[in-house]
Structure 1
């Protein structure tokens, strides 16, 4: 690569056998090679980094690019691919999309300055996976109201509208029941939860209205039971749909305490 570059930083992790080869085998953001930067003293603490063109990743360029959906999707896909490659070998602390430092030296300085905070959080996340649970209200999937005969058109219309409103209210009540069941499942299997904003419009694929969008931190040995029980939370509840995604690296749980946040 010619021209000035910046250090795009994907994640912080504990070094493990095979990690160098794993990150070297994936294509990073902007098609750039990924390498590891080690902390100065705690050599087991590493960051996954790519040298990317500053013309696309400096502050002004990022502000522009983050409004470009195709560009953002490409970066997010590559970012995720690197983190998943690391997660197959060791505990990983994903960093925010488009975390950029001046150079590898600055990345190393951040590792050194925040060493204890990074190591503590990595220890806390060891053996834990993230699962996403989304709950949708889909009144259209519930049994339709019964047809009404021998009524005038006006009265039939009003009766039908009332039945639709009742059906919608019943679906939201069913969603509340499903949410309570998911909470009970989490108490059995999860160690932490993060509530995200519900997804609307293009961010909410499929039918229905998203009313819950949560992430759960689950021990690996509980993963299968958590997924099964979360999906069963909709059993017998018409008008409710549950989507479970994962397992993922712990994206939603990687944030350090505010006083420990690393600055680019």
Structure 2
């Protein structure tokens, strides 16, 4: 970018001012797009991790078009996450949402100072903790037995209808069992967390046709409890045979940057 090109300030994350410098950890990161380097910006009691981006590329309509492209959205999300991960390696860091943009450093500084109390509270909440994700899936579509045609079942069709009803009851029973399993998984994970948040389950376009997403949750866990969480989920996988259980992490505490439900 040349000096004449208007730029916006892209804010990745914030941390407390006065802590270890993050510049070394951030050095060389491309961020969401070179040539401007990722850098820090003082904002009262906070230090923001930021990057200058071309205003023409990140104006509202241009940004909407960019993020509607799946490949570009994934690229931006990965770059955003990479910067936050590097910042967290230097000091406790509150990640901000993808494409948090301001019209220059001064406006970014003003906005972050206005939010300083809530951001400092968030920093207190996440320090020494990480986010873990738990997903629970009900298995569907693999255990249904084929239904005979009406002629093959019975001339009256009663047997055919009973087979349909039986298959529907089986689906409902499996779904109910999966939901009960999901609640047990959530109860165990919450017992090991300091905060939890239920997220929107994914649809079949993400999970595939043979799984139904019945629990999508994030848990804020003290750094020393990883082994307990992994062991608890491993035990649940053995006991809860009606579902698949996935554990992912540790992640930057994206789900708890603005709060979270206590267990």
TM-score by length of 1: 0.83
Structure 1 stretch displaced more, 229-238 or 168-177: 229-238
Gaps of 5+ in 1: 258-264
1:201/1:183 Cα in 2 relative to 1: closer, same or farther (>3 Å)?
Answer: closer
1:114 aligns with 2:115: yes
1:102/1:81 Cα in 2 relative to 1: closer, same or farther (>3 Å)?
Answer: same
Q: 1:35 aligns with which of 39, 45, 68?
A: 39
Q: Provide the residue aligned with 2:152 in structure 1.
A: 153
1:171/1:196 Cα in 2 relative to 1: closer, same or farther (>3 Å)?
Answer: same
> 1:118-167 CA distances to partner (integer Å, 9 max, x unpaired)?
2222012111111111111113456x76x99xxx8315765654553343
1:212/1:160 Cα in 2 relative to 1: closer, same or farther (>3 Å)?
Answer: same
* Match runs of 1:1-264 below 5 Å: 1-2=1-2, 3-15=5-17, 16-17=19-20, 19-31=22-34, 32-40=36-44, 42=45, 45-140=46-141, 153-154=152-153, 161-204=164-207, 207-255=210-258
Aligned residue pairs, count: 251
> 1:62-104 CA distances to partner (integer Å, 9 max, x unpaired)?
2222322222111111011111111222211111111101112
Alpha-carbon offset, residue 232 of structure 1: 3.3
8 Å CA contact 1:136, 1:212 repeated in 2: yes
1:139/1:97 Cα in 2 relative to 1: closer, same or farther (>3 Å)?
Answer: same
1:141/1:131 Cα in 2 relative to 1: closer, same or farther (>3 Å)?
Answer: farther
> 1:171-220 CA distances to partner (integer Å, 9 max, x unpaired)?
21321232232133134201111111110133335840112111111111
Question: Alignment RMSD, CA only?
Answer: 2.8
- SS of the residue aligned with 1:229? helix
TM-score by length of 2: 0.83
> 1:2-60 CA distances to partner (integer Å, 9 max, x unpaired)?
221111111111354352111123220023421000124x3xx2111010111111122
| Alpha-carbon distance in 1 for matches of 2:210, 2:30 | 34
| Alpha-carbon distance in 2 for matches of 1:234, 1:159 | 34
8 Å CA contact 1:174, 1:238 repeated in 2: no
- SS of the residue aligned with 1:9? strand
8 Å CA contact 1:66, 1:72 repeated in 2: yes
Gaps of 5+ in 2: none
- SS of the residue aligned with 1:26? coil
- SS of the residue aligned with 1:25? coil
- SS of the residue aligned with 2:30? coil
8 Å CA contact 2:199, 2:217 repeated in 1: yes
1:27/1:90 Cα in 2 relative to 1: closer, same or farther (>3 Å)?
Answer: same
| Alpha-carbon distance in 2 for matches of 1:124, 1:51 | 29
